[in-house]
Structure 1
Amino acid sequence: MAKIISFQIPKSQSEFVRYQEDRGRHFYDKLHQHPQLQLTVIREGAGQFLSGDYLGRFQAGDVFFLGENAPHVFRSDPEYFATERELKSTGDTVFFDFQAFGKALGELEELESLRKFGDFAGLCFQVLGEGKRQVVEIFDRFPKSSGLGRFQLALELLAILDQAGEELQPLNRPALIRGLSERDGKRMDQVMQFVFEESARAITLQEVADRANLGKEAFCRFFKLHTRKTFTQYLQQVRISQAKKLLLESDLGVAEIAFQVGFENLSYFNRSFKSLTGLSPLAWRKSERTGA
């Protein structure tokens, strides 16, 4: 596996499109980035998707599009790492390498509409609605494609994204620094791994700063720069995301869920949940289960 952050797609230098199938118990769990644009269809599995200041859940059927050098990780839920469980995480991805076009991207009129994708550097999106259905339909044709046929499918995908409008939902915010140095990327990955493994208990700022090999004040500046959140806000968001999973997949009471994900105070959990979702935990559970 390539180094954290400077992740390299296995492809030739002259290849515009690369199709990849990921099959295993869990997805690659290190924060990474690459110059290729990425379009991913989640076939099986569930977990947390992180990119920049965005943290949310992914599940089977979701479609995500990432601009060049967008730091990201699809972190499968803990049960997918348990060897005694026979769970699967599968996904299909198409990588687009615009550098393969060379000067042609800026000179050929037929490629003019592709230039807008350069503005997506560092950004991630979720593809919704009819656009998602069209993307999945084309992905189903990729395994048997090759050569010019595969190139044509890739252009069809980009045309769908170009015309998606509001069905291309932005997830993170554009003003963050685009891309991370390898050193900062390793720090962020170590912090995120620690947070996801330990979020159910009380975590001190000193503990997490030590993981990043920084003093507390330096860590706070570093973390806020790359996530637009304080560490406390980010930890709260991680716990709420994990609470959503339990609300959907179990019949545990709200109080038990709150304590299980790391909240020591039920009223604080309820306030935090509503501030992030607009609903109380019970109302959110009902809405998600009934589709109302």
Structure 2
Amino acid sequence: MSRKIISFQIPKSSKEFVRFQVDAGKHFYDKLHQHPQWQLTLIVEGKGQLMVGDYLGRFEPGDMFLFSANMPHVFRSDAEYFDPNTDKQSLGHTLFFDFEALGKGMIEVEEFAGLNQWLQQTKGCFAIQGSTKKNIKKNLMDFSGLKGLKKILTALEILNVLQESQELTALNRLIPQKDFTESEGKRMGQVMSFILSQSQNQISLSEVADVANLSKEAFCRFFKERTGKTFTEFLTQVRIHQACQLLQESEWSISQIAYQSGFQNLSYFNRAFKKVQGETPKVFRGRLTQVTQH
């Protein structure tokens, strides 16, 4: 049985170990997908929500992420990037590593033993920070001009930096034990696209179950097994992330932001925000204002 999520093939030769790709446009590819290659992505321009496995969080310029093989993910650009009249742009630099292209003989070479062990132990999505990010960014920005052995050596240098780093922050709590089937991936992609695009509106369980073409009971099981969260928990988290962005970037009142993010009740918004963020919206905004002023 096919275990591929939504059809998504990296445009590369089957013999190519590393592929450099620039994603440039109004918004990033907005379908949930996975692929057998490892992925290292630097966000140069653009903001939005990153969903990978059971993790949901924000991405913005300067962020760098590493995904191990077959991690379902999507960089969902904010709504303003889908506005045909906007002049906002999204830009990402990505390396895809295809370890299968090296062949079993290569990976079993003694010098690759440490790397191979690291690959077996490193599963999920990671945010890359500090000097690790700085060092890799320099190599990444120059990568497009590399060919042949220089390309391979630079790729191995980047992997060596990652392998030795203590600055990789794991973002997933739940690592899937098996890949999505193609039908599961397509269904999950449709559900996520619907939730992320409609989160500011009232969404009922019946509506989202209909999108998945499942009964409410079957949908709840399907969603919890694949995200580690209930539909309500996930939707609340999406809305809180939207509220965080508005608290940072708008001058709207907290009640306006609550309503704009999909909350109909201000006291519930305050409670939910504190549960997810560990502080109230007022404290969150005040702390950011102090950081900006300093």
TM-score bracket for the superposition, by shorter chain length:
over 0.9
1:75 alignment partner, SS class: strand
Find the aligned partners of 1:177 and 1:290 in 2 and give their Cα distance.
Answer: 43
The equivalent of 2:11 in structure 1 is 10
Find the aligned partners of 1:238 and 1:4 in 2 and give their Cα distance.
Answer: 23
Q: Which runs of 5+ in 1 are unaligned?
A: none
The equivalent of 1:172 in structure 2 is 172
The equivalent of 2:125 in structure 1 is 124
Task: Give the deviation of 1:208 after TM superposition.
Answer: 0.4
Answer yes or no: is 1:224 the counterpart of 2:224: yes
Task: Give the deviation of 1:105 after TM superposition.
Answer: 4.5
Q: Is the 8 A contact 1:52 1:70 kept in 2?
A: yes
Letter in 2 for 1:224: K
Task: Give the deviation of 1:69 after TM superposition.
Answer: 0.2
Find the aligned partners of 2:132 and 2:80 in 1 and give their Cα distance.
Answer: 31
2:203 alignment partner, SS class: coil
Task: Give the deviation of 1:120 after TM superposition.
Answer: 3.1
Q: Is the 8 A contact 1:177 1:226 kept in 2?
A: no
Identity rate of aligned residues, in percent? 52
Letter in 1 for 2:138: E
Find the aligned partners of 1:175 and 1:77 in 2 and give their Cα distance.
Answer: 26
- Identify the structure with bigger relative contact order (alpha carbons < 8 Å, sequence gap 6+): 2
Question: Which 10-residue stretch deviates more, 282-291 or 153-162?
Answer: 282-291
Task: Give the deviation of 1:112 after TM superposition.
Answer: 1.1
Q: Is the 8 A contact 1:27 1:74 kept in 2?
A: yes
Inter-CA distance 174–195: structure 2 relative to 1 (3 Å threshold): closer
- Post-superposition Cα deviations, 1:220-257, rounded to whole Å, max 9, x if no partner, equal 00000000000000000000010011011111111110
Aligned pairs (5 A) from 1:206-217: 206-217=206-217
TM-score using structure 2 length: 0.94
Find the aligned partners of 2:143 and 2:172 in 1 and give their Cα distance.
Answer: 28
The equivalent of 1:190 in structure 2 is 190
Q: Is the 8 A contact 2:45 2:90 kept in 1?
A: yes
Find the aligned partners of 1:20 and 1:194 in 2 and give their Cα distance.
Answer: 28
1:173 alignment partner, SS class: coil
Find the aligned partners of 1:175 and 1:156 in 2 and give their Cα distance.
Answer: 27
Find the aligned partners of 2:263 and 2:100 in 1 and give their Cα distance.
Answer: 47
> What's the RMSD between the two structures over aligned residues?
1.4
The equivalent of 1:233 in structure 2 is 233
Q: Is the 8 A contact 1:54 1:172 kept in 2?
A: yes
Aligned pairs (5 A) from 1:30-109: 30-109=31-110
Find the aligned partners of 1:217 and 1:133 in 2 and give their Cα distance.
Answer: 47
How many residues end up aligned between the 2 structures? 288
2:159 alignment partner, SS class: helix
Inter-CA distance 177–288: structure 2 relative to 1 (3 Å threshold): farther
Find the aligned partners of 1:149 and 1:106 in 2 and give their Cα distance.
Answer: 19
